Amino acid sequence: MPRLKTGDLVRILPNHPTPFANLEATVQEIREQEQGVTMLDRYVVIFSWGEKQTFYDVQLEQAGKVSAVK
């Protein structure tokens, strides 16, 4: 079961090489890992300027809650 939900506000962790480190985004889609390994779940997030990126569970921390995106 995924740790995060659609609509959650997340922060990209700085301990992984990415230009998005420390930025916040909203979870738009969840792609669960087939064998149920939560840390390998992937999340499609959308930034405030409209760009979408995909991150693994271990690259994200929950920053707060926003309304669910459908």
Tell me: pLDDT of 69 over 60: no
31-40 exposure pattern, b = at least 16 Cβ within 10 A, e = fewer = eeeeeeeeee
Domain ranges in the chain? 8-65
Question: Residue 14 and residue 68: Cα distance in Å, rounded?
Answer: 25
Distance of CA 8 to the CA centre of its chain: 8
Tell me: pLDDT of 33 over 90: no
Fold for the domain defined by 8-65 = SH3 type barrels. (2.30.30)
pLDDT reported for residue 1: 81
* pLDDT tens digits for range 46-62: 999 999 999 999 999 99
pLDDT reported for residue 64: 63
- Considering the chain, what is the average pLDDT of its residues? 88
What are phi and psi for residue 68, nearest 5 degrees? -60, 135
In residues, how long is the chain?
70
pLDDT reported for residue 35: 76
Is the pTM higher than 0.85? The answer reads no
